[in-house]
Amino acid sequence: MFVTRIAILIVGLLCAYAPLALADDTSPWRLGIAVGYGERSNPLVAADDISLLADIDLAWFGKRFYFDNGDVGVTLMNNDKFTLSLAARANSDRVFFGRTNSRVVSLSPDALPTGAPTNLQITVPDRRYAIEAGLELLADGRWGRLQASMHHDISGTHDGFELSADYSVGRRFGRLYVEPSLGLNYKSKALNNYYWGVAAGEANPLLPASVVGDGFNVRTSFRAGYYLSRRMALVVSAHIERINSEAAASVIVAEDTVKGYFAGLSMRL
Amino acid sequence: MRYLIVLLFTLPALADEPKPRLTVQPKLCIVDKRTPVCDVTFDVEWTSPVAGDYCVKRLDDDEPLRCWVEEDAGQVDDQRPVSKTFRYDLQEEGETRVSTKVEILKMDGEDRRRRRRTRHVWDVL
């Protein structure tokens, strides 16, 4: 299975490309689908990686309002230099908690109080989606593209906030278009602690209570597409994100990086 | 009856009348803000089952790129910067016999919100 996945990735890389968006501003709608294979690792203990066979892209852009794959926004300013919007979204950290399971661990009786059970279950505590709203700034030019945002929880889930900035630049090579990017996220203590900490009520001998502070996530990604036509491209995408040290040190986190890839065929309808 | 037989033999021949072919390379060109125009040489080739007077013309041009007299094939290079989808026509006596479109794919549209990265799990498109 591993060899198959690597082969798919290599074929995707060889065939290559993808940025991303068969751009066409004539319709307010953007509807597309990518079929192929991809995976995203799950940094949580006792959790499964996330597999992907198809990715649907559904968006609508009006003059003021937009909907983009679950994000909604209202544009406040738009000019040649930048676009500023008020945007709302669901927090992305929650996605990992939808793939958790339980794992039974046997402990030596010597390590436990007398009479305590020696077989314990590691169960990652559940977390809710937070609805976050804030400002989003988009700017582009010959120098590339910048996306900066600040979002605060408006759902009373974690009461924290997140700042993020992404820079990307595209290059074309005939029908091949590549787009590497770099990103930085600041996650406040309240946000980080809600998702990655363990509350006193959730603690057990295997998952002691822990408080997680704020921190920066750093990520880089690479997307490439080889365009067969305006509406169809062979695409490959790879992504790696280093989780902030506070969250990575949490007892419910097994890996300090999140890695993902996807290779397939993208079609714009 | 004689005319009917002639017609029966003639109709399939008319229906299968081979048409001229017009091919262009490249047929797709990508532009973005760094390279807002596609400045390449388009290789335009045509063939026809019947020799005749043909011209290759770009749709927006007043004059043809090149014309041939009593030929059944031809080739012409066309180098010019383009930023919009356009087409080449193969014309015979001013009438278009076949067309081929060259598509321009804009990676950076007017609306930069279409290029925003979502917090989507994959965001591959």
> Which pLDDT value is given to residue A26?
74
A260 close to B (CB below 8 A): yes
> Which pLDDT value is given to residue A9?
37
pLDDT tens digit sequence for A97-108 = 887 776 666 666
> Which pLDDT value is given to residue B34?
85
Of A22, A34, A89, the CB nearest to B105: A22
* Full-model pTM: 0.80
In B5-64, the residues whose Cβ lies within 8 Å of chain A are 26, 28, 30-35
Mean pLDDT (whole number) for A217-236: 94
pLDDT at B47 over 90: yes
Binned at pLDDT 50, 70 and 90, residue B35 comes out as confident
Q: Which residue did the predictor score with more confidence, A13 or B48? A: B48
- Tally of CB atoms within 10 A around A201: 7
pLDDT at A12 over 70: no
Identify from B29, B85, B108, B116 which residue to disrupt to test chain A contact, counting A C-beta atoms within 10 A and taking the largest count. B116
* Largest Cα span, chain B: 75
Q: Where does A43-175 show beta strands of DSSP type E? A: 50-61, 65-68, 71-78, 82-90, 102-106, 119-123, 131-141, 144-153, 161-168, 171-173
Element at A37 (helix H, strand E): strand A29-40
pLDDT tens digit sequence for B78-112 = 998 999 999 999 999 989 999 999 999 998 888 99
Number of H helices, E strands in chain A: 3, 15
Distance from the A84 Cα atom to the nearest Cα atom in chain B, whole angstroms? 9
Of B103, B120, B125, the CB nearest to A266: B125
pLDDT at A17 over 50: no
Averaged pLDDT score across all residues of chain A: 86
Of the candidates A171, A175, A184, A90, the residue with the CA atom closest to the CA atom of residue A129: A90
Checking ipTM against 0.85, whether it exceeds it is no
pLDDT at A151 over 90: yes
Of the candidates B108, B114, B113, the residue with the CA atom closest to the CA atom of residue A83: B113
B121 close to A (CB below 8 A): yes
Distance from the A204 Cα atom to the nearest Cα atom in chain B, whole angstroms? 31
pLDDT tens digit sequence for A77-98 = 999 999 999 999 999 898 898 8
B118 close to A (CB below 8 A): yes
A187 close to B (CB below 8 A): no
Highest mean pLDDT among A157-161, B11-15, B119-123: A157-161
> Which pLDDT value is given to residue A113?
63
Averaged pLDDT score across all residues of chain B: 86
Element at A185 (helix H, strand E): strand A176-187
**Which chain B residues have a beta carbon less than 8 Å from that of A34?**
122, 124-125
Binned at pLDDT 50, 70 and 90, residue A6 comes out as very low
Burial class (CB in 10 A: 0-12, 13-18, 19+), A142: exposed
